[in-house]
Amino acid sequence: MSDLLADAKAMLYQADPDEFMARRQELVAQAREAGEPDVAKQIGTLRKPTRSAWVVNRLVRADPEVTARLAELAAELRDAGQSTDGARIRELGAAGARLVDELTRQALEDLPAPAAAVREEVTATFDAALADPEVAASLGTLVRAAQYAGFGLPIPGDAPAPPPPAAKTKKPAPAEPSAERERRHREKIISAERAVAEADRTANAANAAEQQLADTVRRLEAELAQARQQLAEARRQAYRAESQQRRAAETLSRLRPPPPAAKPAG
């Protein structure tokens, strides 16, 4: 990645989303002026983050330890998932919940009265970063909040319970309730996946419209700049023409003979 592109991402995804479009346009123009048309094009395709995604991006870029802490705990969770040490799994699950709560508070602490929905999405994103390496890798350039879909590693709080001690025996639970819970859980996953897909389609359509309008604005600004140059040139020509007109009038005035003197009366 070029330095210009990396710097542009750092500026855009750390700055307030309300300033994103204007800043992106400035950075595109700077890249073009620097002789980097390909980088300018890449910057122009960067998408505006949602408020909750920006909150996470800002924290991650301001504090590099955030991603390191998430990565370390995620690795421990993966290792624990390969074992049958229920106590260790519960311990790490609780540690993950505490870390997510801490990062959420840290990300929102200087925002005036953040909406409950933003808080929930920030928490869900950090949860997803613990469970999904792809989400963790995208922290800092998130376009929208992430959510764990229920596949792969469990998120903190969802660690499986350890098996009961061998000395104790329990009557097996009826198969039907367990199957029913599993069915409902899968239905919720399918419903959530559909909601995410629909949100993706909506976001893509909105981003496409945004890009089209941005292209229109750039074209109109280019036309305006050209018109201003033409106006400035026309003014210079008018000024030169007026100067030539005055000089010609002065020359003509000097060349004309003076009018004859009036004869005295009588």
Q: Tokens at residue 157, please?
A: 């709080």
How much is the pLDDT for 259? 74
Q: Where are the domains of the chain?
A: 3-44, 51-161, 180-254
Q: CA 144 from chain center: how many Å?
A: 7
CA–CA dist 160, 188 (Å, integer): 19
Pairwise pLDDT comparison (33 vs 171), residue with the higher score: 33
How much is the pLDDT for 86? 80
Q: Tokens at residue 203, please?
A: 């976001």
Q: CA 176 from chain center: how many Å?
A: 46
**3-class state of residue 157 by DSSP:** coil
Least confident of 11-25, 101-115, 194-208: 194-208
The tens digit of pLDDT for each residue in 29-64 reads 999 999 999 999 999 999 999 999 999 999 999 998
Q: Tokens at residue 233, please?
A: 């040139």
Question: Does residue 110 have a pLDDT over 80?
Answer: yes
What is residue 261's DSSP assignment? P
Q: Which letter, b or e, does each residue of 77-90 get, where b requires 16 or more Cβ atoms within 10 Å of its Cβ?
A: beebeeeeeeebbb
**CB < 8 Å & 24+ apart, contacts of 100-108:** 100/126, 100/127, 100/130, 100/156, 103/59, 103/66, 103/70, 106/59, 106/63, 107/55, 107/56, 107/58, 107/59, 108/55
The tens digit of pLDDT for each residue in 191-240 reads 555 565 555 556 655 655 565 665 554 666 667 667 777 877 777 787 67
Quick check: 134 and 128 in contact, CB under 8 A?
no
Contacts with 218 (C-beta within 8 Å, 6 or more apart), sequence order: 25, 28
How much is the pLDDT for 162? 43
Q: How many of the other CB atoms lie within 10 Å of CB of 155?
A: 23
Helix extents (H) in the chain: 3-14, 20-33, 37-44, 51-62, 65-81, 86-108, 116-131, 133-138, 175-255
Could you tell me the CA-to-CA distances from 78 to 71, 97, 158, 159, 264 in Å, in that order? 10, 15, 13, 11, 122
CA-based torsion, 199, 202, 204, 207: positive or negative: negative
Of 206, 174, 264, which is closest to residue 49 (Cα–Cα)?
206
pLDDT-derived band at 161 (thresholds 50, 70, 90) equals very low
- Max mean pLDDT among 11-15, 80-84, 242-246 falls in 11-15
CA–CA dist 14, 218 (Å, integer): 24
Quick check: 25 and 218 in contact, CB under 8 A?
yes
Q: What proportion of the chain, given as a percentage, has pLDDT over 90?
A: 41
From first CA to last CA, the distance across the chain in angstroms is 102
How much is the pLDDT for 120? 94
Least confident of 49-58, 167-176, 187-196, 245-254: 167-176
Mean model confidence pLDDT for the chain: 78
